[in-house]
Amino acid sequence: MPSAKTSFVCLPCRASYKQPYDRERPERICPRCARPLIHAGSAFAAPPRRDRAAWRVLAVLLHAGKRFHKSCCGGPGYRPRTPREVRERMTYARRSGEPFGEALVRLDVP
């Protein structure tokens, strides 16, 4: 049986690559710019390359340590899709003291 593939992302190039995950070789290099790729997870679906706002949101999520892995219930859970949703969650995190990573994946902001 072939090994499962997972997504690796290059944020400067706005490109995603599906590759088999190898624990002995977790670092991957972008074939376009030769920068390190970020492991995004097996449930990741890349936005269109021309959608700059979606890639900025994705950059915030990945830099906060959030990934797109499958779970037993069918997916990675809620992830914001617009800069407005990110701003709302970041403002909530500053006011409440909740960590940014946790506030970003919160479905509803009180």
Task: Give φ, ψ of 36 to 5 degrees.
Answer: -65, 140
Q: Which of 2, 4, 25, 11 is nearest to 69 (CA)?
A: 4
User: What pLDDT does 54 receive?
Assistant: 95
Binned at pLDDT 50, 70 and 90, residue 108 comes out as confident
Token pair, residue 91, equals 């403002």
Q: Where is average pLDDT lowest: 11-20, 22-31, 32-41?
A: 22-31
Distance (Å, whole) CA 74 – CA 51: 26
User: What pLDDT does 40 receive?
Assistant: 93
User: What pLDDT does 1 receive?
Assistant: 47
Is residue 73 over pLDDT 80? no
